[in-house]
């Protein structure tokens, strides 16, 4: 799943759980794994050397590809934060919602840390992440997956922006 989708989902959960921020952050973190369980296409990371037999032994090399991967991942992560800011916190800075968007992306950052250090509790978390992550990579359905994720973002945020989104006022 793209980091964008993870971030917006985390932000939405946070907004719904505003009365209990700690639980909101926890659920935002958990939502990452639930989303990953759905079949989806992921953009390729060329610096990631996947070990198909022993996924726990997969690595990430810091090579020429890494810079490009890093840029892609950063842009994806930033887009998630920007969309959370626009669609969920409605152009108002809200550290809690922004934090939840970050926490929802965190499991993927922790995978990277795992590839470098391979220590508990990251090893157990990585096992769980691999286990729950769909094995259906939608290889030839890139655009179906991207469109589905875009539609999902619109649907889960619609109730917020349809009611009070400043731009929506223009269409009334
Ligand atoms: Zn993930």
Q: What pLDDT score was predicted for residue 160? A: 80
CA of 171 to the centre of ligand 1 (A): 37
Q: What pLDDT score was predicted for residue 52? A: 85
- pLDDT tens, residue by residue, 5-47: 999 999 999 999 999 999 999 999 999 999 999 999 998 888 8
Residue given tokens 């179906």 in the structure block: 144
- pLDDT tens, residue by residue, 109-152: 999 999 989 999 999 999 999 999 999 888 888 899 999 999 99
CA of 109 to the centre of ligand 1 (A): 9
Residues recorded for the chain: 172
Q: What pLDDT score was predicted for residue 96? A: 97
Task: Classify residue 60 by its DSSP letter.
Answer: E
Name which residue leads in pLDDT, 168 or 16. Answer: 16
- Six-digit token string for 53: 């037999």
CA of 125 to the centre of ligand 1 (A): 11
Q: What pLDDT score was predicted for residue 167? A: 54
Binned at pLDDT 50, 70 and 90, residue 53 comes out as confident
Average pLDDT taken over every residue of the chain = 91
Q: What pLDDT score was predicted for residue 137? A: 85
- pLDDT tens, residue by residue, 77-107: 999 999 999 999 988 999 999 999 999 999 9
CA of 163 to the centre of ligand 1 (A): 31
CA of 47 to the centre of ligand 1 (A): 16
**What's the rounded Cα separation, in Å, for the pair 94 and 38?**
29
**What's the rounded Cα separation, in Å, for the pair 15 and 89?**
8
CA of 81 to the centre of ligand 1 (A): 17
């Amino acid at each position: 799943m793209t980091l964008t989708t993870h971030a917006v989902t985390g932000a939405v959960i946070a907004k719904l759980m505003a009365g209990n921020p700690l639980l909101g952050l926890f659920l935002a973190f958990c939502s990452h794994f639930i989303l990953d369980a759905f079949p989806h296409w992921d953009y390729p990371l060329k610096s990631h050397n996947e070990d198909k037999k022993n996924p726990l032994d997969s690595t990430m090399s810091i090579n020429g590809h890494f810079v490009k991967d890093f840029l892609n991942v950063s842009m994806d992560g930033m887009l998630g934060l920007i969309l959370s800011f626009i669609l969920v916190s409605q152009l108002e800075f809200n550290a809690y919602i922004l934090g939840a968007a970050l926490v929802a992306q965190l499991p993927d950052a922790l995978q990277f840390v795992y590839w470098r250090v391979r220590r508990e509790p990251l090893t157990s978390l990585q096992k769980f992440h691999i286990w729950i992550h769909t094995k259906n990579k939608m290889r030839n359905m890139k655009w179906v997956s991207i469109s589905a994720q875009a539609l999902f973002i619109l649907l889960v945020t619609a109730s917020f922006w349809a009611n009070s989104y400043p731009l929506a006022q223009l269409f009334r």
